Protein backbone atom coordinates (compact mmCIF):
# COMPACT_ATOMS: atom_id res chain seq x y z
CA UNK A 1 0.00 0.00 0.00
CA UNK A 2 1.36 3.46 -0.81
CA UNK A 3 2.20 6.34 1.46
CA UNK A 4 -0.13 7.29 4.33
CA UNK A 5 1.22 10.03 6.62
CA UNK A 6 1.56 10.03 10.37
CA UNK A 7 -1.46 11.84 11.78
CA UNK A 8 -1.44 14.91 14.02
CA UNK A 9 -3.42 18.01 14.82
CA UNK A 10 -1.90 21.33 13.82
CA UNK A 11 -2.34 24.05 16.42
CA UNK A 12 -0.62 27.43 16.15
CA UNK A 13 1.43 26.01 13.30
CA UNK A 14 2.79 23.20 15.48
CA UNK A 15 2.15 19.52 14.86
CA UNK A 16 0.38 18.17 17.93
CA UNK A 17 0.81 14.41 18.22
CA UNK A 18 -0.62 11.63 20.36
CA UNK A 19 1.29 12.03 23.69
CA UNK A 20 -1.29 11.55 26.46
CA UNK A 21 -4.29 12.09 24.15
CA UNK A 22 -7.06 9.65 23.31
CA UNK A 23 -6.95 8.48 19.71
CA UNK A 24 -9.23 7.45 16.86
CA UNK A 25 -8.28 4.65 14.47
CA UNK A 26 -8.58 5.68 10.82
CA UNK A 27 -9.50 2.75 8.57
CA UNK A 28 -9.47 1.99 4.87
CA UNK A 29 -13.15 1.35 4.03
CA UNK A 30 -12.24 -1.02 1.18
CA UNK A 31 -10.32 -3.41 3.42
CA UNK A 32 -11.05 -2.48 7.04
CA UNK A 33 -7.29 -2.13 7.55
CA UNK A 34 -6.09 0.42 10.13
CA UNK A 35 -4.25 3.28 8.43
CA UNK A 36 -3.24 5.36 11.42
CA UNK A 37 -4.01 6.70 14.87
CA UNK A 38 -5.41 10.21 15.11
CA UNK A 39 -4.89 12.28 18.27
CA UNK A 40 -8.06 13.89 19.60
CA UNK A 41 -8.18 17.34 21.18
CA UNK A 42 -8.77 17.94 24.86
CA UNK A 43 -10.01 21.30 26.10
CA UNK A 44 -6.44 22.57 26.64
CA UNK A 45 -5.79 21.91 22.93
CA UNK A 46 -8.94 23.77 21.97
CA UNK A 47 -7.96 26.69 24.20
CA UNK A 48 -4.58 26.85 22.45
CA UNK A 49 -6.32 26.75 19.09
CA UNK A 50 -8.67 29.58 20.10
CA UNK A 51 -5.79 31.74 21.35
CA UNK A 52 -3.91 31.15 18.12
CA UNK A 53 -7.03 31.94 16.05
CA UNK A 54 -7.42 35.25 17.90
CA UNK A 55 -3.76 36.11 17.22
CA UNK A 56 -4.03 34.91 13.64
CA UNK A 57 -7.05 37.09 12.98
CA UNK A 58 -5.47 40.18 14.57
CA UNK A 59 -2.61 39.83 12.10
CA UNK A 60 -4.22 38.39 8.93
CA UNK A 61 -7.09 40.90 8.86
CA UNK A 62 -4.48 43.51 7.92
CA UNK A 63 -2.84 41.41 5.20
CA UNK A 64 -2.86 42.85 1.69
CA UNK A 65 -4.81 41.40 -1.21
CA UNK A 66 -1.50 40.55 -2.86
CA UNK A 67 -0.31 38.62 0.20
CA UNK A 68 -3.51 36.55 0.39
CA UNK A 69 -3.45 35.95 -3.36
CA UNK A 70 0.15 34.77 -3.19
CA UNK A 71 -0.70 32.19 -0.51
CA UNK A 72 -3.77 30.96 -2.40
CA UNK A 73 -1.94 30.77 -5.75
CA UNK A 74 1.02 29.09 -4.10
CA UNK A 75 -1.16 26.51 -2.38
CA UNK A 76 -2.97 25.82 -5.66
CA UNK A 77 0.37 25.22 -7.39
CA UNK A 78 1.51 22.89 -4.60
CA UNK A 79 -1.74 20.91 -4.71
CA UNK A 80 -1.23 20.45 -8.43
CA UNK A 81 2.34 19.28 -7.79
CA UNK A 82 1.13 16.90 -5.04
CA UNK A 83 -1.97 15.78 -6.91
CA UNK A 84 -1.15 12.06 -7.00
CA UNK A 85 -0.07 11.91 -3.37
CA UNK A 86 -3.19 13.77 -2.19
CA UNK A 87 -5.45 11.59 -4.33
CA UNK A 88 -3.91 8.38 -2.98
CA UNK A 89 -4.39 9.52 0.59
CA UNK A 90 -8.05 10.42 -0.06
CA UNK A 91 -8.75 7.11 -1.79
CA UNK A 92 -7.23 5.12 1.06
CA UNK A 93 -9.16 6.81 3.83
CA UNK A 94 -12.45 7.58 2.06
CA UNK A 95 -12.78 4.84 -0.56
CA UNK A 96 -13.56 6.82 -3.72
CA UNK A 97 -11.78 5.97 -6.97
CA UNK A 98 -8.45 7.61 -7.70
CA UNK A 99 -10.00 9.35 -10.71
CA UNK A 100 -12.61 10.98 -8.46
CA UNK A 101 -9.99 11.92 -5.86
CA UNK A 102 -7.98 13.65 -8.59
CA UNK A 103 -11.08 15.64 -9.54
CA UNK A 104 -11.31 16.80 -5.92
CA UNK A 105 -7.72 18.06 -6.01
CA UNK A 106 -8.60 20.03 -9.14
CA UNK A 107 -11.73 21.48 -7.48
CA UNK A 108 -9.47 22.94 -4.80
CA UNK A 109 -6.89 24.18 -7.29
CA UNK A 110 -9.59 26.00 -9.24
CA UNK A 111 -11.25 27.42 -6.13
CA UNK A 112 -8.00 28.74 -4.66
CA UNK A 113 -7.09 30.30 -8.01
CA UNK A 114 -10.51 31.90 -8.23
CA UNK A 115 -10.27 33.36 -4.73
CA UNK A 116 -6.72 34.58 -5.45
CA UNK A 117 -8.29 36.77 -8.14
CA UNK A 118 -11.38 37.64 -6.15
CA UNK A 119 -9.46 39.10 -3.20
CA UNK A 120 -8.48 41.99 -5.48
CA UNK A 121 -12.16 42.82 -5.96
CA UNK A 122 -13.22 43.31 -2.33
CA UNK A 123 -14.40 46.83 -2.96
CA UNK A 124 -16.25 49.14 -0.63
CA UNK A 125 -18.10 52.22 -1.84
CA UNK A 126 -18.28 55.93 -1.28
CA UNK A 127 -21.72 57.55 -0.93
CA UNK A 128 -22.65 60.90 -2.51
CA UNK A 129 -22.40 63.57 0.21
CA UNK A 130 -22.11 67.37 0.37
CA UNK A 131 -18.64 68.93 0.60
CA UNK A 132 -16.97 68.34 3.96
CA UNK A 133 -18.95 65.19 4.62
CA UNK A 134 -17.84 61.66 3.73
CA UNK A 135 -19.78 58.41 4.07
CA UNK A 136 -18.23 55.12 3.07
CA UNK A 137 -19.09 51.45 3.19
CA UNK A 138 -16.32 48.93 3.81
CA UNK A 139 -16.25 45.16 4.05
CA UNK A 140 -14.17 43.60 6.77
CA UNK A 141 -13.38 39.99 7.63
CA UNK A 142 -15.97 38.58 10.04
CA UNK A 143 -13.41 37.16 12.49
CA UNK A 144 -12.16 33.70 13.47
CA UNK A 145 -14.25 30.96 11.83
CA UNK A 146 -15.02 27.51 13.26
CA UNK A 147 -15.42 25.19 10.29
CA UNK A 148 -16.69 21.61 10.30
CA UNK A 149 -16.11 19.50 7.21
CA UNK A 150 -17.49 15.98 6.59
CA UNK A 151 -15.87 12.90 5.10
CA UNK A 152 -17.55 12.62 1.69
CA UNK A 153 -15.20 15.07 -0.08
CA UNK A 154 -12.13 14.68 2.12
CA UNK A 155 -10.08 17.16 0.07
CA UNK A 156 -12.79 19.39 -1.40
CA UNK A 157 -14.67 20.11 1.82
CA UNK A 158 -11.55 21.27 3.71
CA UNK A 159 -10.54 23.29 0.63
CA UNK A 160 -13.83 25.19 0.77
CA UNK A 161 -13.71 25.62 4.53
CA UNK A 162 -10.15 27.01 4.46
CA UNK A 163 -10.12 28.92 1.17
CA UNK A 164 -12.91 31.43 1.78
CA UNK A 165 -11.91 32.59 5.30
CA UNK A 166 -8.26 32.90 4.30
CA UNK A 167 -9.18 34.93 1.21
CA UNK A 168 -11.41 37.18 3.31
CA UNK A 169 -8.73 37.89 5.94
CA UNK A 170 -10.18 35.67 8.68
CA UNK A 171 -8.50 32.99 10.73
CA UNK A 172 -10.04 29.51 10.81
CA UNK A 173 -10.11 26.47 13.07
CA UNK A 174 -10.98 23.49 10.91
CA UNK A 175 -12.40 20.31 12.35
CA UNK A 176 -12.47 17.95 9.43
CA UNK A 177 -13.98 14.49 9.76
CA UNK A 178 -12.00 12.16 12.02
CA UNK A 179 -12.49 9.43 9.40
CA UNK A 180 -10.59 11.35 6.70
CA UNK A 181 -8.01 13.50 8.50
CA UNK A 182 -4.93 13.03 6.30
CA UNK A 183 -6.60 14.56 3.24
CA UNK A 184 -7.54 17.69 5.20
CA UNK A 185 -4.04 17.91 6.65
CA UNK A 186 -2.57 17.59 3.15
CA UNK A 187 -4.60 20.59 1.94
CA UNK A 188 -3.62 22.63 5.01
CA UNK A 189 0.06 21.77 4.51
CA UNK A 190 -0.05 23.21 0.99
CA UNK A 191 -1.26 26.51 2.48
CA UNK A 192 1.51 26.54 5.11
CA UNK A 193 4.12 25.68 2.51
CA UNK A 194 2.85 28.57 0.40
CA UNK A 195 3.54 30.95 3.29
CA UNK A 196 0.35 31.03 5.38
CA UNK A 197 1.26 31.95 8.97
CA UNK A 198 0.54 29.10 11.41
CA UNK A 199 -1.96 30.99 13.56
CA UNK A 200 -4.21 31.77 10.60
CA UNK A 201 -5.43 28.21 9.96
CA UNK A 202 -5.39 25.22 12.25
CA UNK A 203 -6.69 21.68 12.25
CA UNK A 204 -8.14 19.97 15.31
CA UNK A 205 -9.92 16.65 15.65
CA UNK A 206 -11.96 15.22 18.48
CA UNK A 207 -15.37 14.14 19.60
CA UNK A 208 -17.45 16.24 17.14
CA UNK A 209 -20.07 17.27 19.70
CA UNK A 210 -17.48 18.21 22.31
CA UNK A 211 -15.40 20.23 19.85
CA UNK A 212 -18.38 22.10 18.41
CA UNK A 213 -19.87 22.78 21.89
CA UNK A 214 -16.55 24.18 23.07
CA UNK A 215 -15.62 26.25 20.03
CA UNK A 216 -19.10 27.66 19.54
CA UNK A 217 -19.30 28.69 23.20
CA UNK A 218 -16.16 30.82 22.78
CA UNK A 219 -16.58 34.54 22.04
CA UNK A 220 -13.40 34.32 19.93
CA UNK A 221 -15.30 32.50 17.18
CA UNK A 222 -17.45 34.85 15.08
CA UNK A 223 -18.71 32.49 12.43
CA UNK A 224 -19.77 28.86 12.05
CA UNK A 225 -19.36 27.11 8.72
CA UNK A 226 -20.82 23.61 8.66
CA UNK A 227 -21.32 20.94 6.02
CA UNK A 228 -23.22 17.82 7.07
CA UNK A 229 -26.67 16.53 7.89
CA UNK A 230 -29.70 18.76 8.43
CA UNK A 231 -30.21 17.34 11.94
CA UNK A 232 -26.71 18.28 13.12
CA UNK A 233 -26.93 21.58 11.25
CA UNK A 234 -30.05 22.59 13.18
CA UNK A 235 -28.32 21.69 16.44
CA UNK A 236 -25.20 23.70 15.61
CA UNK A 237 -27.24 26.73 14.54
CA UNK A 238 -28.84 26.76 17.98
CA UNK A 239 -25.39 26.74 19.58
CA UNK A 240 -24.28 29.57 17.28
CA UNK A 241 -27.43 31.55 18.12
CA UNK A 242 -26.42 31.80 21.80
CA UNK A 243 -23.68 34.19 20.74
CA UNK A 244 -25.32 35.41 17.49
CA UNK A 245 -22.48 34.03 15.43
CA UNK A 246 -22.94 34.15 11.67
CA UNK A 247 -23.53 30.86 9.91
CA UNK A 248 -23.04 29.17 6.57
CA UNK A 249 -24.91 25.88 6.52
CA UNK A 250 -24.46 23.33 3.72
CA UNK A 251 -26.90 20.59 4.70
CA UNK A 252 -28.67 17.61 3.25
CA UNK A 253 -30.51 17.23 -0.03
CA UNK A 254 -32.79 14.76 -1.81
CA UNK A 255 -32.02 15.69 -5.43
CA UNK A 256 -35.01 15.46 -7.77
CA UNK A 257 -34.27 14.67 -11.43
CA UNK A 258 -37.15 15.42 -13.79
CA UNK A 259 -36.91 13.46 -17.03
CA UNK A 260 -39.44 14.41 -19.69
CA UNK A 261 -40.66 12.29 -22.60
CA UNK A 262 -39.01 14.51 -25.25
CA UNK A 263 -35.38 13.56 -24.49
CA UNK A 264 -32.88 11.32 -26.25
CA UNK A 265 -33.26 8.59 -23.63
CA UNK A 266 -30.03 6.65 -24.21
CA UNK A 267 -27.92 9.83 -24.16
CA UNK A 268 -29.55 10.96 -20.91
CA UNK A 269 -29.00 7.55 -19.27
CA UNK A 270 -25.32 7.61 -20.28
CA UNK A 271 -24.97 10.84 -18.31
CA UNK A 272 -27.22 10.35 -15.28
CA UNK A 273 -26.22 6.81 -14.28
CA UNK A 274 -22.49 7.54 -13.68
CA UNK A 275 -23.54 10.80 -12.01
CA UNK A 276 -25.82 8.91 -9.61
CA UNK A 277 -23.10 6.48 -8.52
CA UNK A 278 -20.25 9.01 -8.25
CA UNK A 279 -18.62 8.70 -4.83
CA UNK A 280 -20.97 5.73 -4.19
CA UNK A 281 -23.83 8.23 -4.02
CA UNK A 282 -22.41 9.98 -0.95
CA UNK A 283 -22.85 13.47 -2.34
CA UNK A 284 -25.15 16.18 -1.00
CA UNK A 285 -26.08 17.20 -4.57
CA UNK A 286 -26.51 13.58 -5.72
CA UNK A 287 -29.44 12.86 -8.03
CA UNK A 288 -31.78 10.78 -5.85
CA UNK A 289 -35.42 10.84 -6.97
CA UNK A 290 -35.76 10.22 -10.70
CA UNK A 291 -39.14 11.71 -11.58
CA UNK A 292 -39.90 10.26 -15.00
CA UNK A 293 -42.70 11.05 -17.42
CA UNK A 294 -45.02 8.16 -18.10
CA UNK A 295 -44.25 7.74 -21.84
CA UNK A 296 -40.60 6.76 -21.31
CA UNK A 297 -40.81 5.29 -17.81
CA UNK A 298 -40.41 1.56 -18.53
CA UNK A 299 -37.51 2.09 -20.94
CA UNK A 300 -35.85 4.48 -18.48
CA UNK A 301 -36.01 1.96 -15.63
CA UNK A 302 -34.69 -0.88 -17.81
CA UNK A 303 -31.84 1.20 -19.28
CA UNK A 304 -30.89 2.59 -15.89
CA UNK A 305 -30.80 -0.83 -14.23
CA UNK A 306 -28.77 -2.37 -17.04
CA UNK A 307 -26.13 0.34 -16.75
CA UNK A 308 -26.13 0.24 -12.92
CA UNK A 309 -25.61 -3.53 -12.87
CA UNK A 310 -22.61 -3.16 -15.21
CA UNK A 311 -20.74 -0.72 -12.95
CA UNK A 312 -17.41 -2.18 -11.83
CA UNK A 313 -17.22 -1.93 -8.03
CA UNK A 314 -13.97 -2.47 -6.14
CA UNK A 315 -11.14 -0.81 -4.22
CA UNK A 316 -10.73 2.76 -5.46
CA UNK A 317 -7.10 2.27 -6.45
CA UNK A 318 -7.75 -0.70 -8.80
CA UNK A 319 -7.61 0.01 -12.52
CA UNK A 320 -10.99 0.10 -14.21
CA UNK A 321 -13.00 0.38 -10.99
CA UNK A 322 -15.90 2.81 -11.40
CA UNK A 323 -17.28 2.84 -7.85
CA UNK A 324 -15.48 2.28 -4.57
CA UNK A 325 -16.83 1.19 -1.19
CA UNK A 326 -18.98 3.42 0.96
CA UNK A 327 -16.93 5.57 3.32
CA UNK A 328 -17.70 3.90 6.65
CA UNK A 329 -19.65 0.94 8.09
CA UNK A 330 -22.64 3.18 8.99
CA UNK A 331 -23.46 3.71 5.32
CA UNK A 332 -24.05 0.10 4.10
CA UNK A 333 -26.02 -0.48 7.31
CA UNK A 334 -28.20 2.53 6.49
CA UNK A 335 -28.63 1.29 2.90
CA UNK A 336 -29.81 -2.15 4.06
CA UNK A 337 -32.32 -0.55 6.38
CA UNK A 338 -33.67 1.95 3.83
CA UNK A 339 -33.87 -0.55 0.96
CA UNK A 340 -35.47 -3.15 3.26
CA UNK A 341 -38.12 -0.67 4.38
CA UNK A 342 -38.87 0.40 0.78
CA UNK A 343 -39.25 -3.19 -0.45
CA UNK A 344 -41.44 -4.09 2.54
CA UNK A 345 -43.71 -1.19 1.57
CA UNK A 346 -44.01 -2.39 -2.02
CA UNK A 347 -41.05 -0.90 -3.93
CA UNK A 348 -39.68 -3.00 -6.80
CA UNK A 349 -35.98 -3.87 -6.39
CA UNK A 350 -34.74 -3.85 -10.01
CA UNK A 351 -31.04 -4.39 -9.33
CA UNK A 352 -28.57 -4.43 -6.42
CA UNK A 353 -29.95 -4.01 -2.92
CA UNK A 354 -27.20 -5.83 -0.99
CA UNK A 355 -23.64 -5.62 0.21
CA UNK A 356 -20.87 -7.00 -1.98
CA UNK A 357 -18.24 -9.37 -0.53
CA UNK A 358 -17.46 -9.99 3.11
CA UNK A 359 -14.92 -7.26 3.80
CA UNK A 360 -15.05 -3.49 3.48
CA UNK A 361 -18.10 -1.26 3.06
CA UNK A 362 -19.17 -2.24 -0.46
CA UNK A 363 -22.81 -1.89 -1.46
CA UNK A 364 -24.13 -2.73 -4.92
CA UNK A 365 -25.44 -0.01 -7.24
CA UNK A 366 -29.15 -0.26 -6.55
CA UNK A 367 -32.30 0.70 -8.43
CA UNK A 368 -35.72 0.85 -6.79
CA UNK A 369 -38.78 1.45 -8.96
CA UNK A 370 -42.33 2.37 -7.92
CA UNK A 371 -41.29 3.20 -4.36
CA UNK A 372 -44.33 4.44 -2.42
CA UNK A 373 -44.11 7.98 -1.04
CA UNK A 374 -44.43 6.77 2.56
CA UNK A 375 -41.17 4.75 2.36
CA UNK A 376 -38.45 6.21 4.58
CA UNK A 377 -36.07 6.55 1.63
CA UNK A 378 -38.58 8.85 -0.10
CA UNK A 379 -38.25 11.31 2.82
CA UNK A 380 -34.72 10.79 4.10
CA UNK A 381 -31.48 11.50 2.21
CA UNK A 382 -30.13 8.02 1.34
CA UNK A 383 -26.56 9.27 0.89
CA UNK A 384 -25.64 6.12 -0.95
CA UNK A 385 -25.78 4.23 -4.26
CA UNK A 386 -29.56 3.91 -4.49
CA UNK A 387 -31.59 5.42 -7.33
CA UNK A 388 -35.33 5.89 -6.82
CA UNK A 389 -37.31 5.93 -10.08
CA UNK A 390 -41.01 6.75 -10.14
CA UNK A 391 -43.63 7.41 -12.83
CA UNK A 392 -45.58 10.69 -13.20
CA UNK A 393 -48.32 11.79 -15.60
CA UNK A 394 -47.30 15.34 -16.48
CA UNK A 395 -45.18 18.39 -15.76
CA UNK A 396 -47.38 19.69 -12.94
CA UNK A 397 -47.21 16.37 -11.08
CA UNK A 398 -43.45 16.20 -11.62
CA UNK A 399 -42.86 19.69 -10.22
CA UNK A 400 -45.12 18.92 -7.25
CA UNK A 401 -43.10 15.79 -6.46
CA UNK A 402 -39.78 17.69 -6.82
CA UNK A 403 -40.98 20.30 -4.30
CA UNK A 404 -42.64 17.82 -1.93
CA UNK A 405 -39.75 17.54 0.52
CA UNK A 406 -38.39 20.21 2.86
CA UNK A 407 -34.98 19.97 1.14
CA UNK A 408 -33.84 22.27 -1.66
CA UNK A 409 -30.20 21.83 -2.59
CA UNK A 410 -29.73 20.54 -6.15
CA UNK A 411 -32.37 19.76 -8.76
CA UNK A 412 -31.89 18.41 -12.28
CA UNK A 413 -34.09 18.32 -15.35
CA UNK A 414 -33.79 16.82 -18.82
CA UNK A 415 -36.02 18.17 -21.59
CA UNK A 416 -35.73 19.60 -25.09
CA UNK A 417 -38.54 22.09 -24.56
CA UNK A 418 -36.91 25.46 -24.00
CA UNK A 419 -40.03 27.19 -22.75
CA UNK A 420 -40.25 24.49 -20.12
CA UNK A 421 -36.71 25.40 -19.00
CA UNK A 422 -38.02 28.75 -17.84
CA UNK A 423 -41.03 27.28 -16.08
CA UNK A 424 -38.82 24.82 -14.22
CA UNK A 425 -36.35 27.56 -13.29
CA UNK A 426 -39.24 29.57 -11.86
CA UNK A 427 -41.08 26.78 -10.06
CA UNK A 428 -38.47 24.43 -8.57
CA UNK A 429 -37.61 25.17 -4.94
CA UNK A 430 -33.87 24.64 -5.07
CA UNK A 431 -30.58 26.39 -4.50
CA UNK A 432 -29.04 25.01 -7.69
CA UNK A 433 -30.65 23.76 -10.89
CA UNK A 434 -28.98 21.87 -13.75
CA UNK A 435 -30.93 21.48 -17.00
CA UNK A 436 -29.60 19.04 -19.60
CA UNK A 437 -26.29 18.74 -17.76
CA UNK A 438 -24.88 17.08 -14.67
CA UNK A 439 -22.75 20.14 -13.87
CA UNK A 440 -23.99 21.63 -10.61
CA UNK A 441 -20.97 23.47 -9.21
CA UNK A 442 -17.89 25.44 -10.24
CA UNK A 443 -15.32 27.63 -8.50
CA UNK A 444 -17.03 30.81 -9.73
CA UNK A 445 -20.61 29.65 -9.06
CA UNK A 446 -22.34 30.03 -5.67
CA UNK A 447 -23.04 26.64 -4.11
CA UNK A 448 -25.78 26.38 -1.49
CA UNK A 449 -29.34 25.45 -0.70
CA UNK A 450 -32.74 26.69 0.43
CA UNK A 451 -35.21 25.36 3.01
CA UNK A 452 -33.74 22.48 5.09
CA UNK A 453 -30.71 22.30 2.82
CA UNK A 454 -29.29 25.32 4.61
CA UNK A 455 -28.38 28.87 3.82
CA UNK A 456 -25.43 30.92 2.69
CA UNK A 457 -23.03 29.92 -0.05
CA UNK A 458 -19.60 28.54 -0.70
CA UNK A 459 -17.64 29.19 -3.91
CA UNK A 460 -18.12 32.16 -6.19
CA UNK A 461 -17.97 35.75 -4.96
CA UNK A 462 -20.76 34.84 -2.53
CA UNK A 463 -18.46 32.34 -0.79
CA UNK A 464 -16.03 35.14 -0.01
CA UNK A 465 -18.76 37.63 0.91
CA UNK A 466 -20.00 35.09 3.47
CA UNK A 467 -16.79 35.68 5.47
CA UNK A 468 -17.17 39.48 5.49
CA UNK A 469 -19.16 41.97 7.54
CA UNK A 470 -20.19 45.44 6.43
CA UNK A 471 -19.23 48.64 8.22
CA UNK A 472 -20.64 52.06 7.33
CA UNK A 473 -18.53 55.09 8.26
CA UNK A 474 -19.82 58.69 8.33
CA UNK A 475 -17.22 61.48 8.66
CA UNK A 476 -18.10 65.12 9.14
P1 LIG B 1 -23.47 12.56 11.36
O2 LIG B 1 -24.71 13.23 10.89
O3 LIG B 1 -23.32 12.35 12.82
O4 LIG B 1 -22.16 13.35 10.85
C5 LIG B 1 -22.08 14.08 9.66
C6 LIG B 1 -20.87 15.01 9.80
O7 LIG B 1 -21.11 15.93 10.84
C8 LIG B 1 -19.58 14.27 10.19
O9 LIG B 1 -18.50 14.86 9.50
C10 LIG B 1 -19.47 14.51 11.69
O11 LIG B 1 -18.12 14.55 12.13
C12 LIG B 1 -20.12 15.85 11.87
N13 LIG B 1 -20.77 16.02 13.15
C14 LIG B 1 -21.62 15.18 13.77
N15 LIG B 1 -22.04 15.68 14.94
C16 LIG B 1 -21.43 16.88 15.07
C17 LIG B 1 -21.46 17.88 16.07
N18 LIG B 1 -22.22 17.80 17.16
N19 LIG B 1 -20.68 18.98 15.89
C20 LIG B 1 -19.91 19.12 14.79
N21 LIG B 1 -19.86 18.20 13.80
C22 LIG B 1 -20.62 17.10 13.95
O23 LIG B 1 -23.36 11.12 10.78
P24 LIG B 1 -22.60 10.46 9.56
O25 LIG B 1 -22.87 9.02 9.70
O26 LIG B 1 -21.19 10.87 9.46
O27 LIG B 1 -23.39 11.00 8.31
C28 LIG B 1 -24.79 10.77 8.26
C29 LIG B 1 -25.50 11.72 7.38
O30 LIG B 1 -24.88 12.99 7.32
C31 LIG B 1 -25.53 11.26 5.95
O32 LIG B 1 -26.55 10.33 5.77
C33 LIG B 1 -25.78 12.53 5.21
O34 LIG B 1 -27.17 12.77 5.17
C35 LIG B 1 -25.14 13.57 6.06
N36 LIG B 1 -23.88 14.05 5.47
C37 LIG B 1 -23.99 15.11 4.63
C38 LIG B 1 -22.87 15.59 4.01
C39 LIG B 1 -22.97 16.76 3.06
O40 LIG B 1 -22.10 16.93 2.24
N41 LIG B 1 -24.00 17.59 3.17
C42 LIG B 1 -21.64 14.98 4.23
C43 LIG B 1 -21.55 13.90 5.12
C44 LIG B 1 -22.70 13.45 5.74
Ligand 1 within 6 A of CB of 284: yes
pLDDT at 2 over 90: no
Distance CA 91, CA 394 (A): 42
Catalytic residue among 93, 250, 381, 458: 250
Q: Decide if 361 is catalytic.
A: no
**CA 319-320-323 angle, 5° bins:** 110
Element (H, E) at 89: helix 83-94
Dihedral of CA atoms 84, 87, 89, 95 in degrees, nearest 10, equals -140
Write the DSSP assignment of 189-228 as a string of letters: HHHHHTT--GGGEEE--S-HHHHHHHHHH-TT--EEEEES
Neighbours of 143 (CB within 10 A): 23
Ligand 1 within 6 A of CB of 174: no
Provide the mean pLDDT of the chain. Answer: 98
Q: Decide if 284 is catalytic.
A: yes
Q: What is the CA 201 to chain-centroid distance, rounded?
A: 19
Ligand 1 within 6 A of CB of 151: yes
Distance CA 277, CA 298 (A): 21
Beta strands at 468-475 and 386-392: parallel, antiparallel or unpaired: unpaired
Maximal CA-CA distance, the chain: 79
Ligand 1 within 6 A of CB of 39: no
Of 119, 14, 142, 123, residue with least CA distance to 73: 119
Write the DSSP assignment of 95-109 as a string of letters: ---HHHHHHHHHHHH
Residue nearest to atom 7 of ligand 1 (CA): 228
Ligand 1 within 6 A of CB of 148: yes
Ligand 1 centroid–CA 300 distance in Å is: 33
pLDDT band per the 50, 70, 90 thresholds, residue 3:
confident
pLDDT digits (tens, 9 = 90+) for 40-91: 999 999 999 999 999 999 999 999 999 999 999 999 999 999 999 999 999 9
Q: What is the CA 144 to chain-centroid distance, rounded?
A: 21
Residue nearest to atom 25 of ligand 1 (CA): 330
pLDDT band per the 50, 70, 90 thresholds, residue 1:
low
Interface predicted TM-score (ipTM): 0.95
Of 161, 146, 184, residue with least CA distance to 10: 184
Amino acid sequence: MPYYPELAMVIAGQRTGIDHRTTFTVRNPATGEALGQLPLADTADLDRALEAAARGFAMWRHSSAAQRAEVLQGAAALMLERKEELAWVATQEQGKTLAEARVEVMMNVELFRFYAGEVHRLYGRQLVRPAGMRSSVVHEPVGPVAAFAPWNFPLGNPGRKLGAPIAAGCSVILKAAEETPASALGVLQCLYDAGLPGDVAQAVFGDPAQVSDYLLASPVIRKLSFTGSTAIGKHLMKLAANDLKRTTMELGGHGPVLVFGDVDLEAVLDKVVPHKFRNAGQVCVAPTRFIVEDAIYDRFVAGFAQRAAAIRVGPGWHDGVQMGPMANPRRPEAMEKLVGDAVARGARLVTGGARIGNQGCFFAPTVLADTPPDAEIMQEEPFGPVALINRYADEAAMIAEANRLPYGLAAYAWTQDYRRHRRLAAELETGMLAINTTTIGAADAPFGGVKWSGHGHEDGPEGLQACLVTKTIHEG
